[in-house]
Amino acid sequence: MPVLEIELLPDFGFESESIESVRKKYSGFGISLFKLIEDCHEEVYGCLAFYRSTTHQKNDVYAVCSCNNYSCAIQLDPDTEVICLWNKTVRTEITSWSENPEHEALEFLLENLACST
């Protein structure tokens, strides 16, 4: 795992996984965010690396976006229905209370986390 990615992920054990593996195991809250990123911002989607925790929160989906020396992380938590987005300086959580959580998450990612190329 590249250094930027390690610094952003929680202090858990992680293994890489493919988006296909993510889609097979997870159909819960927020999963359409990745399709939205792929459809609207292919250059950002191409920078995503997907992970699963081997120690804690094993049902969650983790992704790290590394583009042009910037990194941010995305976590989908099915138990609390929250999309977490963060980098080293800013963090937000978008819940099912949002009218359109995936669009709100994408907007936050592009405007606040410097992932667009």
Predicted local distance difference test score (pLDDT) of residue 101: 95
Strand partners, 48: 65
Residue 117 located in a structural domain: no
Quote the domain boundaries for residue 101. 3-112
Predicted local distance difference test score (pLDDT) of residue 34: 94
Paired tokens of 98: 């949002």
Predicted local distance difference test score (pLDDT) of residue 11: 67
**Residue 45: closest CA among 70, 67, 22:** 67
Residue 100 located in a structural domain: yes
DSSP code for 77:
E
First-residue to last-residue Cα distance in the chain: 21
Residue 44 located in a structural domain: yes
Predicted local distance difference test score (pLDDT) of residue 27: 86
- In order of 6, 22, 44, 99, the CA distances from 64 in angstroms are 9, 14, 10, 25
Total number of domains constituting the chain: 1
Residue 32 located in a structural domain: yes
Residue 83 located in a structural domain: yes
Predicted local distance difference test score (pLDDT) of residue 114: 64
pLDDT tens-digit profile, the chain (117 residues): 444 445 556 566 778 899 999 999 888 899 999 999 999 988 888 889 999 888 878 788 999 888 765 678 899 998 899 999 988 888 999 998 999 999 999 999 888 776 554
Question: What burial class does residue 111 get, using C-beta atoms within 10 Å of its C-beta: 0-12 exposed, 13-18 middle, 19+ buried?
Answer: exposed
Predicted local distance difference test score (pLDDT) of residue 68: 65
